Structure 1
């Protein structure tokens, strides 16, 4: 990198926030590389989930969330990211080239950057306190900047979405390959990835909105009242790799905005991992107009609930490749 770019400590601070992005099974399927003009984001195929996510849609979505987290973190540190998505036609795992230019942080940059460390995936029940329509409108607006189209599942469409979620849970419960993969990425206490037991709920047949059945679940949900979570479905007009990457950025924008407001969130992708159920959601919830990329549970936590322990994350040095001027030049 040259002297017109941030120093390594600034890059390290931004990446430390970027890796806090949500990812399927907390696989953290990203790698970064420092180039002579900025940074590069790659999908790490070694962290693929062939039974859960055979077309790598969830992995690309996860990397999109990390890309947005990185952009927000850099903006908060005084650098604007000029992003070229899918810059290398030969290498589809090279998801983004990020050129950095000086930038004066806005109040929104600062607020969203601060929200990164507070955001959590919270699978517990949410209270009946209503979400003001203006808040939901702001989430849709922030997603729209990245090409995301948000639909609130209500009444009949909510019933169809919840039934798809239950059907996915039933189908996955009988799939030994899926169950083996799920167990490999959950329930461990000393790992730097995967879903820890203290963040996972037990599967309950009576649960109105089922959560993914991670292994060795030890999260206690007091269930002071039924789950009143709102369900937001994020869709895109296209369904290629670029659309999925941008959908991940839209998801991140929604989650950080919700966190800044004080709302709890939980990203859900399980029913979208089964093609026939994803099609039903497209038809029944999105009026067959957009492709469903993610479902977000959102709401207020009941009063008095403690924050969850933070999910583990890999250190920056574990996801940062050494600079390779030849490869970066070729990629550009």
Structure 2
């Protein structure tokens, strides 16, 4: 397997900010503890964190949790955010910051224990050894505190904090399969704040007597270690392996000791330092691929590797087969790979350029960008073509699941810029009815540019689509407010006007318009309206593919006595990502694939309205006018196709032309 690419400078910066922020929290709690009681400090910090996280979440939409998810959110909020903060604040009334950090950092080993017990991940030998060693370290720290200027109660409170932290993370893990990470963190933080409301009176009293520096410290704890650090952790987790990133949290205790020494003039007892080192040694056996998440990052779909069973809402598991797997080998034969690639090539692509190549071996499929099919005028950065390849990747995952194979996706697996993804077969599974339904939707899905029926797409379906997109770190925002619609329509029209006035764009467009019904690529003229799109009764202008060949005044005859046509009001949704690099584009493509297939299975069709995203100027203005936090990647019109309407099917290149089977 190729080694993962080195993280970018921005990713490294995000890791540094996260580790320093979490380390500073231990010192800040210790510093303000004389002026703010544990309960008051916990409530104040969580109120500030909830407010900041709420601002970050604004405009991203909301995925409605189900009953089970609300229970898990309550466990996470009460345990991790509520009890954890109370116990941690109280512990630092008895222990120095460095000793506290070393004790709390047994959390990862406790997470592994709970995951083995509650999530069925087992108890390998490294886990048993790690538990024993970490427990010995706790005993050493307990012995070090006896007779010192501290007491054993602080050790007990730290263990309580570590346990509730571990319970919170294990409760969070299944939540992140469907709900966006930022929403989970915000909700859990708000629940923790509600749990601490009994200390509202204490907070009011302490704020009345505390110096400005201590109040500022409380605000700092809410803004930086809570809101900022959780956000930078999420950013890094979408760009690094979770195991590699989890190891960086082991730097927190030594940093806390250094900060406590420099800022508070306190150093843990020598035996406590030894005990802390033993605790960290107990945690160290965690294999890199098994390190649990230590923060409110997004679901594992945002990580570089993603075990995919292509089952909506089923809960994707890591490093092991999901329920419904069956024993057996993991070799896919050449005919099966041809069928999978045939399904992958049914993915929509900008101008139907089909910018992909595939290489298959016995147990993996590598997906490459085909630079020979680029659109240098319309898509100079390759963003839209990489998104198209992301759709093809997820179509392959869906096809594999329907054929009875569990797969793992690794994005950007090496330094080859054209090597976008590796789909690796993990083992056989028993395909479900939903697997088969989604795979059947691959062949049924077509881009529909004709007007839709006057039926509203159900809110429940939009919520489902939003959850599907969120699993890949992609937000899904219906454009519903009138001011948002006006701004978006204006920018689409402006971009279309710019494109129609660009001879280079028109020349490139005509290269991909096909008059031959048997063409294997490009956009068939039968699939696009012959009349001027601006003349159709709709606010939303689709792309005009034949503008360069249409004669002036050409169009359907108008009956002056006919009643005005019904105005089309499609559902329009905007999809986007926090980042704007190839990784984000691939994730957006995978999310779009899931959205299109689930919508198709529900009888809903879609077509792109990407003109405003083609041009950097209009894309930037759209982001500003809609107050988007992140980068828009796809704009879709969605609705129910008119009955009896025929859709011209765009061609696809033969599988033999795009697939190479390696020996």
Whether TM exceeds 0.5 here: the answer is yes
Matched, 1:172 2:499: yes
C-alpha contact 2:541 2:609 (8 A) present in aligned 1: no
Partner of 1:231: 572
Matched, 1:194 2:522: yes
C-alpha contact 1:200 1:219 (8 A) present in aligned 2: no
Quick one: structure 1 residues 253 and 24, their matched pair in 2 at CA, closer, same or farther if it must change by over 3 Å? same
C-alpha contact 2:390 2:586 (8 A) present in aligned 1: yes
**Aligned match for 1:97, one of 422, 439, 445:** 422
C-alpha contact 1:187 1:214 (8 A) present in aligned 2: no
For the residue of structure 1 that corresponds to 2:574, the secondary structure is: strand
Higher helix fraction (1 or 2): 2
Distance, in Å, in 1 between the alignment partners of 2:441 and 2:330 is: 28
Shift in Å at residue 269 of structure 1?
A: 2.1
C-alpha contact 1:86 1:242 (8 A) present in aligned 2: yes
Distance, in Å, in 2 between the alignment partners of 1:102 and 1:322 is: 21
Matched, 1:279 2:279: no
Deviation string, structure 1 residues 29-79 (Cα, Å, up to 9, x no partner): 000001343110000000000001011000000000111111101111111
Matched, 1:112 2:426: no
Matched, 1:19 2:19: no
Distance, in Å, in 2 between the alignment partners of 1:170 and 1:236 is: 27
Shift in Å at residue 213 of structure 1?
A: 1.3
For the residue of structure 1 that corresponds to 2:533, the secondary structure is: coil
Partner of 2:6: none
Shift in Å at residue 322 of structure 1?
A: 4.4
For the residue of structure 2 that corresponds to 1:126, the secondary structure is: coil
Shift in Å at residue 109 of structure 1?
A: 1.4
C-alpha contact 1:234 1:295 (8 A) present in aligned 2: yes
C-alpha contact 1:236 1:291 (8 A) present in aligned 2: yes
Shift in Å at residue 305 of structure 1?
A: 3.1
Shift in Å at residue 15 of structure 1?
A: 1.0
Moved more, 101-110 or 249-258: 101-110
Distance, in Å, in 2 between the alignment partners of 1:242 and 1:263 is: 28
Distance, in Å, in 2 between the alignment partners of 1:36 and 1:256 is: 27
- Which residues of 2 match residues 35-46 of structure 1 at below 5 A? 35-46=361-372
Moved more, 74-83 or 200-209: 200-209
Rg comparison, structure with higher value: 2
**Aligned match for 2:453, one of 119, 127, 140:** 127
Partner of 1:51: 377
Distance, in Å, in 1 between the alignment partners of 2:514 and 2:568 is: 24
- Which residues of 2 match residues 167-316 of structure 1 at below 5 A? 167-189=494-516, 190-201=518-529, 202-207=531-536, 208-215=539-546, 225-285=566-626, 287-302=627-642, 304-316=643-655
Q: What is the alpha-carbon root mean square deviation over aligned residues? A: 2.0
Deviation string, structure 1 residues 217-250 (Cα, Å, up to 9, x no partner): 8999xx9622211110001011110000110011
Identify which of structures 1 and 2 has the higher relative contact order when contacts are C-alpha pairs closer than 8 Å and 6+ apart: 1
Deviation string, structure 1 residues 159-199 (Cα, Å, up to 9, x no partner): 11111111111000010110000000013314210000000
Distance, in Å, in 1 between the alignment partners of 2:380 and 2:462 is: 32
Gapped regions of structure 1 (runs ≥ 5): 326-332
Distance, in Å, in 2 between the alignment partners of 1:149 and 1:156 is: 20
Distance, in Å, in 2 between the alignment partners of 1:162 and 1:37 is: 46
TM-score, normalized by length of structure 1?
A: 0.91
Deviation string, structure 1 residues 83-131 (Cα, Å, up to 9, x no partner): 1100012x11100111112122123211110101110100011122112
Distance, in Å, in 2 between the alignment partners of 1:160 and 1:265 is: 21
For the residue of structure 1 that corresponds to 2:430, the secondary structure is: coil
Partner of 1:329: none
Distance, in Å, in 2 between the alignment partners of 1:95 and 1:39 is: 11
